[in-house]
Chain A
Amino acid sequence: MNKQIEIEVKQTKLTLRDDGSIFVPAWGALLVADLHLGKERSFRAGGIPVPDGPSAATLELLSDAIRRTECQQVIFLGDLIHDGRSLSPELIEDFATMRSCWHALSMHLVRGNHDRHVSIFPASWDLQVHQELEVDSVTLVHAAPEEIAVERYYLEGHWHPVTIVGRGADQMRVRCFVDHGNRLTLPAFGPFKGGMKIHTQSARVYPILPGAVLGV
């Protein structure tokens, strides 16, 4: 049983962590995707009663991952917030508090489809916003294009992948990392996200169980 799994793509080592994040030791970077912060507030504004909590819990998970990996930078792979109604004063403040705890770190966002609702993120969040990021042969993006050049490798979010493990009484639907050979999809980070079952023969799947990442 492994708490995390190390794989290598394009001579870059990646650590797949049991919270759904990836740590890249060579860059000192923590990668997380699809936080959808403020989703509960968007729902309430739309007239659906949902309690507060998931966003705060997501931020706590993030702080925890930063502490454990001792990373120097955090890269959000898109969909940091849920939609235009998500940015409440409380959320802005909560994020800013978390940010000030880690003021020495740099934080980057590659924009996702949900982030289009916000043109400028609050200054107190101190985010560097990009359309995509390229490091060596690896591209960080929210959703990888369909055609990928042979020499490149993509790290993406967007799909919220989940998979089924076990059978009979042990069967569970869990989040997973998916390695398609030329791109790797991260699961959504934190609670209240939902997921999409992946149907693929060719991809390698790394299911995430509480306290373990499965793989060969």
Chain B
Amino acid sequence: MKSNQRKPFPFQRQTWKAILENQNGILHSPTGSGKTLAIWLGAMAQWMEQNPGWKEKKSNEKRRVNRNRAETIRVVWITPLRALAADTVSALNEPVDSLKLPWTVERRTSDTSSSLKTKQKNRLPSCLVTTPESLSVLLSHQKCQQQFSKLQMIVLDEWHELMGTKRGVQTELCLARLRQLCPQILTWAISATIGNVEEARETAIGECCERSVVVKAPARRKLSMRSLIPKSIERFPWAGHMGLKSLESVIHAIDQKESSLVFTNTRSQAEKWYSAILHGKPEWAGKMGLHHGSMDRKKRTWVERELDAGNLKCVICTSSLDLGVDFLPVQQVLQIGSPKGIARLLQRAGRSGHYPGGKSELVFVPTHALELVELAAAKKAIRANQIESRIPMSGSLDVLAQHVITLAAGGGFNSDELFQEVKTTRCFRDLTENQWQWVLDFAIRGGESLRAYPDFRRIRKTEGGMFEIVDDRTARRHRMSIGTITSDREVLVKYMKGGKLGTIEERFVSKLKPGDNFLFAGRTLKLIMMRDMTAWVRRAKGKVAALPRWMGGRLPLSTELSEAVRDELTQAKQGVFYGPEMKSVKPLLMLQAKWSDIPDSDSLLIEQVKTRDGYHTFVYPFEGRLVHEGLAAILAWRMSQLQPISFATTINDYGIELLSPTEPPLEKAIDQGLFLAGQLMNQIEKSMNASELDRRQFRDIARVAGLVQSGFPGQAKSSKQLQASSDMFFDVFREYDPENLLLKLARSEVMEFQLEQVRLASALERLSTTQVNIQFPPKPTPLAFPILIDRLRMKLSSEKVADRIARLTQQYEKEAERFKGKG
């Protein structure tokens, strides 16, 4: 173990001391290592202090701890990714082995074998490494809850990944329960450096914040960053996401070093790049790895082991390798496409240069020209130490409802006591009695008490006033749905001869026909048949028909980075092109200036273009995706009040596109205060109704609330007749139970998170004071192009249905005429 040979770092000693003084805390550093050990040794020291005689008790030298005689559960170690659990277990086991403590360290994730799960139900290990979902499942078993009363410490690993998500809320609720079961418990969070460490501490530690510390570990390595700048920017794509144009220079860059990690933003991009590099360098076969979250655990483990042993030239990976133990041989990191955030870029860069005296090297590979601006901006932000905050969620009642059912299954609860317990979390500290009643109603009956949902019941009230789950079947079903906070329905990919390859989304497989080829896990596969939630495949040669796509891969550009990009463009407008990235995009920005204008901080650029799709109005506030979403709805709604018109809106991190079949009353709208901040509250609600933003939010909620059945990959019987899309549920609720709680929840989440009024208002405040600059370029400009091809659209209309249908009919008939003419 490294720390045995080295002096501990000051931050490690500070952490041990704080733990022995019974303090809670958060430990953060920009990159760096030694955080795990700092806390783990503290936990062990605490035990040794409480058990001074432990050395004498040790009888034989043979190092094999009997799991039934080992120390009972003391530490719960929560990790955000199931893939990290195995690494964490072996990292934690090292010092336990060398100190010969009578401790067992085990993991409990959805991968854990059912025999071990049964053993754990009867006796938990001394340290349990688990995910929020699995912890939640444990709490749904009464036997486990009883065991937790001996718990001493909870560790939240990579807490920045969890906070700000619904899984983070789930964790907060589980923590509240654990603190209820054993008040003496300590909480320690480990986090990368983020903009709001203080809030991270509050969410992790909850009410006991006064006896807690913040420990900062310094970064220890230097960082160098460069971009692979395309030779000719004119021929470089304006938009696109695969970035294979840079293949040659990427291969060259990999060739320069012993070992590289190549990060992509999506799994399909990773697949594509893996096969492209292999095609370009066939001699690297066997010396290259592919690693992403949908691949089978065994395949990923192989890649990790070989990478660690220094046998691999490069590994193509997604965020699946963002976290976890460091691989010493890695000398450089390549980032393909926008990193989307400053913290993420730092974290990925930090995965390289862990050998003695090494430095972190990052090579940025843009997939389209504007990403060069993003990197230039990110570099500047890193120098200025501007790192994003993770905004914690509050009031996620769907997660609370799920938790309530979990506890009903785990031995029941008393309503008043649980209400108080839940209020100790940061997320629900402002929970009202009404909201609580609302959650109980949903958990018990599926709806408010007055609405009848006949023959549906999950929880009943016992004579003692406790709430309990109605039967085992319901409890089992609920446990299965706990893991589905984020995932789509997935199917297992298996060879006909046997051997698992991983999972892909059912949505993708359903589009394939037997006999179709597709690319997965770095191989070309032929789909033979679909049965029992399993896609059976064979190795194939020849043309690849399809590349799987996984949903949920769309990271928004962080607000901080969008702001930095805005500054960079402002300089460019003044003719200042600083750094190699900005110099290289200069021709493109000059073209933008020629056709239209370069946006800057003092003015708001609006472009209007007509194509065969209709009138495109592009607005560039550069406020980031989250604000744009709300802004798009408001702008479309305000214009639609002036005349009957329909809009389809698309947003990206730079701007908004409003597409309409007829000419929008843009100038009239600006004259009448299109960008004024007044009346916002009232209008948000109206525009939300018109644009159905809540329909999108409802998708997540439907999953958490257990409406959308996920089933398990490879599970023999999928309950096919109980499947319906969240869209269908949305329609049914809106039509037949408009007061439904889940609908209300979707609306309130849109109001709170998406159209976060404060940020939207301040964005409008800024925009209303800027000069509006309307341009009519001949065709979509370099800035407009990426938005144009991104077809994730939201719609809003103030026209009569009949008018739209008449237009549609006309359109349809025209096309049919043309078709006939051709035929």
Find out whether the CB atom of A191 lies under 8 angstroms from the CB atom of B477: no
| Nearest-CB residue, chain B, relative to A210 | B801
**A53-B722 in contact (CB<8A):** no
A83 to B720, CA, bound (A): 11
Given A54-B732, A54-B736, A165-B812, also A1-B721 (CB < 8 A): no
Measured between C-beta atoms, what is the minimum distance from B279 to chain A in Å?
A: 29
Contacting pair A191 B725 (CB below 8 A): no
Contact B736 A52, beta carbon cutoff 8 Å: yes
Q: For the complex, is B807 an interface residue (Cβ under 8 Å from A)?
A: yes
B447: which A residues are within 8 A, CB to CB?
49, 51
Q: Judging by beta carbons under 8 Å apart, are A169 and B806 in contact?
A: no
The answer to whether A50 touches B732, judged by C-beta atoms less than 8 angstroms apart, is yes
Contacts of B455 in A (CB 8 A): 41, 44-45, 88
C-beta contact mask, A172-196 vs B, less than 8 Å → 1, else 0? 1000000000000000000111100
Contact A165 B728 (CB under 8 A): no
Cross-interface CB contact of A51 among B659, B736, B804, cutoff 8 Å:
B736
B613 adjacent to A168 (CB under 8 Å): yes
A214 at interface (Cβ–Cβ under 8 A)?
A: yes
Chain A: minimal CB distance from B727 (Å): 8
Given known pairs A47-B706, A51-B447, the reply for A169 and B797 (CB within 8 Å) is yes
User: Would you call A145 an interface residue if the criterion is a C-beta within 8 Å of the partner chain's C-beta atoms?
Assistant: no
CB neighbours (8 Å) of B811 from chain A are 166-167, 170
Query: How many angstroms from the CA of A171 to the CA of B732 in the assembled complex?
Result: 21
Q: Which residues of B contact A171 (CB under 8 A)?
A: 648, 793, 795
The CA of A47 and the CA of B475, in the complex, are separated in Å by 11
By the criterion CB–CB under 8 Å, are B724 and A53 in contact?
no
B728 pairs with A168, CB closer than 8 A: no
Residues of A within 8 A of B411 (CB): none
Are A44 and B454 in touch, CB under 8 angstroms?
A: yes
Known contacts A169-B614, A169-B648; is-contact A194 B661 (Cβ 8 Å) = no
**Contact yes or no, B659 A216, CB < 8 A:** no
A40–B447 Cα gap in the complex (Å)?
14
Return A41 CB to nearest CB of chain B, in Å: 7
Q: Which residues of B sit under 8 angstroms from A57, Cβ to Cβ?
A: 735-736
Closest to A84 in B: B721
Q: For the complex, is A48 an interface residue (Cβ under 8 Å from B)? A: yes
Provide the bound-state CA to CA distance between A211 and B802, in Å: 8
Contacts of B805 in A (CB 8 A): 1, 209-212
Q: Does B285 contact A (CB under 8 A)?
A: no
Are B707 and A53 closer than 8 Å at their CB atoms?
no
B721 touches A114 (CB 8 A): yes
Do the beta carbons of B812 and A168 come within 8 Å of each other? no
**Number of contact residues on B: which range applies?**
35 or more
Q: Which of chain B's residues have a CB closer than 8 A to the CB of A210? A: 801, 805
Q: Does B737 contact A (CB under 8 A)?
A: yes
What sequence of 0s and 1s flags, for each residue 147-173 of chain A, a beta carbon within 8 Å of any chain B beta carbon? 000000000000000000111111110
Chain A proximity mask over B709-730: 1 for CB below 8 Å, otherwise 0:
1000000000101101100110
Q: How many residues of A contact B (CB 8 A)?
A: 40
Q: For A166, what are the chain B residues with a Cβ–Cβ distance below 8 Å? A: 808, 811-812
Contacts A44-B455, A51-B453 given; indicate if A216 touches B809 (C-beta within 8 A). Answer: no
- Is residue B687 within 8 Å, beta carbon to beta carbon, of the partner chain? no
Chain B stretch 785-810: residues in CB contact (< 8 A) with chain A? 793, 795, 797, 801-802, 804-809
List of A residues within 8 angstroms of B822 by Cβ: none
A42: interface (CB < 8 Å): yes
Interface string of B165-190 (1 = CB under 8 A from A): 00000000000000000000000000
Q: With a CB–CB cut-off of 8 A, which chain A residues contact B648?
A: 168-169, 171
What is the count of residue pairs linking A and B with beta-carbon distances less than 8 angstroms?
Answer: 120
**Which B residues are CB-close (under 8 A) to A193?**
728
Does B804 lie within 8 Å of A170, measured CB to CB?
A: yes
B550 proximal to A (CB < 8 A): no
> Which residue of the partner chain A has the closest CB to B636?
A169
Query: Contact at B795–A169, with CB atoms within 8 Å?
Result: yes
> CA–CA, A189 to B452, complex, Å?
26
**Counting CB contacts under 8 A, is B148 at the interface?**
no
Q: Which residues from B are CB-within-8-Å of A211?
A: 802, 805
Contact B721 A169 (CB under 8 A): no
Residues of B within 8 A of A114 (CB): 721
Q: Which of B647, B737, B812 contacts A169 (CB 8 A)?
A: B647
Contact A50 B646 (CB under 8 A): no
- What's the least CB distance linking B734 to chain A, in Å? 10
Cβ of B458 within 8 Å of any chain A Cβ, yes or no, is yes
For chain B, residues 198 to 213, give those with C-beta under 8 angstroms from any C-beta of chain A.
none
User: In the complex the two chains form, is A191's CB within 8 Å of B661's CB?
Assistant: no
Within the assembled complex, what's the spacing in Å between the Cα atoms of A207 and B813?
12
**Smallest CB separation, A212 vs chain B (Å):** 6
- Do B647 and A191 have beta carbons less than 8 Å apart? no
Contact between chains at B808 and A216 (CB < 8 Å): no
Contact residues, B26-67 vs A (CB, 8 A): none
B733 within 8 A of A: yes
A82 contacts B by Cβ under 8 Å: yes
Q: Interface code A93-122, partner B: CB below 8 Å = 1, 0 otherwise? A: 000000000000000000000100000000
Query: Could you say which of B729, B801, B806 contacts A50, with CB atoms under 8 Å apart?
Result: B729
CB atoms of B661 and A51 under 8 A apart: no
Contact of B809 with A212 in the complex, beta carbons under 8 Å: yes
A169 with B646: CB separation less than 8 A: yes
Q: Is B663 an interface residue (CB 8 A)?
A: no
Are the C-beta atoms of A167 and B613 separated by less than 8 Å? Answer: yes
Among residues 8 to 51 in chain A, which have CB atoms less than 8 Å away from a CB atom of chain B? 40-51
List residues of chain A with CB within 8 A of the CB of B446: 44, 49
List residues of chain A with CB within 8 A of the CB of B452. 52
CB distance from B350 to the nearest CB of A (A): 44
Cβ of B660 < 8 Å from any Cβ of A? yes
Say whether, besides A48-B707, A51-B453, A169-B647, A216 and B816 are in contact (CB < 8 Å).
yes
Contact indicator A209/B808 (Cβ below 8 Å): yes
Task: List residues 452-489 of chain B with CB under 8 A from any CB of chain A.
Answer: 452-456, 458, 474, 477
CB distance from B573 to the nearest CB of A (A): 31
Q: Which residues of A contact B801 (CB under 8 A)?
A: 210
Contact partner, B661, options A42, A43, A168, A216, Cβ 8 Å:
A168
Q: Max chain B CB contacts within 10 Å: which of A48, A52, A214, A216?
A: A48
Given the complex of chains A and B, what is the CA–CA distance between A41 and B721 in angstroms?
A: 12
Question: In the bound complex, how far is the Cα of B347 from the Cα of A165, in angstroms?
Answer: 45
Q: Chain B CB within 10 Å — which of A45, A47, A83, A166 has the most?
A: A47
Q: How far is the CA of A166 from the CA of B811 in the complex (A)?
A: 7
* Residue picked from B456, B647, B731, most chain A C-beta under 10 Å: B456
Known A44-B456, A50-B453; further 18 A-B contacts with Cβ < 8 A: A43-B722, A44-B453, A44-B454, A45-B456, A46-B722, A49-B447, A52-B452, A54-B736, A88-B455, A166-B811, A169-B795, A170-B807, A172-B808, A192-B724, A207-B812, A211-B805, A214-B808, A214-B809
Shortest 3 CB-CB contacts between residues of A and residues of B: A49-B446, A53-B736, A51-B737
13 A-B residue pairs with CB within 8 Å:
A42-B721, A44-B456, A48-B709, A50-B729, A51-B733, A53-B735, A53-B737, A165-B812, A168-B661, A169-B646, A192-B728, A194-B728, A212-B809
Residues of B within 8 A of A (CB): 445-447, 451-456, 458, 474, 477, 613-614, 646-648, 659-661, 706-707, 709, 719, 721-722, 724-725, 728-729, 731-733, 735-737, 740, 793, 795, 797, 801-802, 804-809, 811-813, 816, 820
